[in-house]
Homo-oligomer: A and B are copies of this chain.
Amino acid sequence: MSLRYALLALLNVEPMTGYDLYKQFESSVGYVWHAPDSQIYPELRRMERDGLLEGEEVAWGTKGRKRQYHVTGAGREAFRNWINTQLDYPRERDPMHLKAAYLEWADPDSARSQLQAHAEHYGARLIQWQQKIQEIDGGTSDMLNRRLATVPAGDHSRVAAFKRFTYEGLTSRAESEIAWARRGLALLDELYPDGEPPTAP
């Protein structure tokens, strides 16, 4: 159900086509939320059906047509309603931590490379999210600037603060994952000091 609200959030800034939204999710916005186009187009149709959006056929080239959606009053209300509603947390289900619990079954070299990959995965995210924070601080965030243009100047700092806050959360999560993976690598060195003992537990 969150895809709907991610779409509303983006369309609150300005009207867009499904393809525009897809591009957003493929680039910077995708660092917070991602969706494939095969999910976006049908959802937009459902949202229009539900009265949250209104679509409008726009010419594109000579024969081309595209459908641009803008948020309706009901859409804005639904968004505000969502943002004020407590979300319910899913049960735990994390493949990497599940794996970690049974790492004695793994080939030590494989365990090492997987923890290494874990650190690298979050390392890459970390850089992206830190970059976002710098863009926010430097006023060079395209997304944020378009959003700021739609709110009174007095609210600018507030809007920026929440965006920054979001990325802070993501960076500290990434840092915690990296630290964990590093501890895991150290643990492997400790538990398998010499080369590679038999794999079968």
Residues of chain A touching chain B, judged by Cβ–Cβ distance below 8 Å, are: 2, 5-6, 9, 30-35, 79-80, 82-84, 86-87, 89, 91-107, 110, 113-114, 117, 121, 125, 151, 155, 157-159, 161-163, 165-166, 168-170, 172-173, 175-177, 179-180, 183-184, 187, 191, 199, 201
Contact = CB atoms under 8 A, between A and B. Distances in A.
Contacts of A87: 95-96, 99, 114
Contact of A177 (B9, B106, B151, B173): B173
B89 A121 contact: yes
B105 A80 contact: yes
12 contacts: A9-B102, A32-B98, A33-B93, A34-B91, A86-B114, A86-B117, A87-B96, A94-B170, A103-B165, A104-B159, A155-B201, A165-B187
A12 B14 CA distance: 54
